[in-house]
């Protein structure tokens, strides 16, 4: 075998590899395998909706509730959870806050994470955690984080603040929001008293 035949064999092998890997790369670049939306949505709202008994999913006439009816707590300004604050459990709220710990802290002096530190959040101006870069929507919202505002935000963050960076889907259950707000209210130098 002379060097010319060895060169032809090596060329054929390299051409075959180029054809195989080139075709594979072309297919991968032209087909979409990634998520439709970037980021990760926490499955809390979906899990709570799936756990609801069938009687909760239908009204008195037996018809399924519409999306507008499901969004009623957010439209009501979070008053449903505020009404439960007198009986809310900060201990339960602490366990609910475990879902939030991947992005937030609530202890005094802890640094911001993916989300701002929530220490002293109740009655704090929106978009005011030192050193955290808020979305334009949050900065434009203005006002303070009252119990009602926190409840409405926790129901559906994206509906409450257009353009929010928060990817959390929300807490649809008023009792869960009340417990979480009770916990957050307790995480302050001078906790704001809960309504009775």
Both structure tokens of 52? 């609801």
Residue 100 domain boundaries: 44-186
Check whether 57 has a pLDDT greater than 80: no
Residue 29: predicted pLDDT: 79
Q: How many domains does the chain have?
A: 2
Check whether 106 has a pLDDT greater than 90: yes
Same domain, 101 and 181: yes
Q: What is the pTM of this model?
A: 0.62
Same domain, 149 and 87: yes
Same domain, 93 and 143: yes
Same domain, 157 and 62: yes
Question: Can you tell me the distance from the alpha carbon of 181 to that of 74, in angstroms, rounded to the nearest whole number?
Answer: 15
Check whether 180 has a pLDDT greater than 60: yes
Same domain, 57 and 4: no
Check whether 44 has a pLDDT greater than 60: no
Q: What is the mean pLDDT of the chain?
A: 81
Check whether 58 has a pLDDT greater than 80: no
Within 8 A by CB and 6+ apart from 105, the residues are 111, 112, 113, 117, 118, 119
Same domain, 104 and 156: yes
Check whether 36 has a pLDDT greater than 70: no
Check whether 62 has a pLDDT greater than 60: no
Same domain, 8 and 69: no
Residue 67: predicted pLDDT: 39
- Tell whether 75 is covered by a domain: yes
Closest CA to 173 of 151, 149, 193: 151
Residue 134: predicted pLDDT: 92
């Amino acid at each position: 075998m002379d060097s010319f035949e060895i060169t032809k064999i090596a060329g054929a092998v390299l051409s075959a590899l180029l054809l195989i890997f080139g075709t594979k790369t072309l297919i991968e670049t032209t087909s979409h395998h990634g998520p439709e939306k970037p980021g990760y949505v926490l499955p809390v709202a979906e899990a709570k909706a799936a756990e609801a008994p069938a009687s909760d999913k239908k009204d008195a006439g037996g018809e399924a509730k519409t999306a507008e009816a499901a969004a009623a707590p957010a439209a009501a300004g979070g008053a449903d959870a505020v009404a439960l604050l007198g009986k809310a459990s900060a201990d339960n709220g602490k366990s609910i806050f475990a879902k939030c710990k991947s992005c937030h802290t609530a202890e005094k002096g802890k640094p911001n994470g993916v989300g701002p530190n929530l220490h002293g959040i109740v009655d704090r101006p929106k978009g005011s955690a030192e050193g955290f870069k808020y979305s334009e929507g949050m900065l434009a919202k203005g006002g303070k984080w009252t119990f009602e505002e926190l409840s409405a935000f926790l129901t559906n963050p994206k509906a409450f603040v257009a353009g929010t960076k928060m990817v959390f889907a929300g807490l649809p259950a008023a009792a869960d929001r009340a417990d979480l707000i009770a916990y957050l209210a307790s995480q302050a130098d001078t906790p704001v008293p809960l309504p009775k």
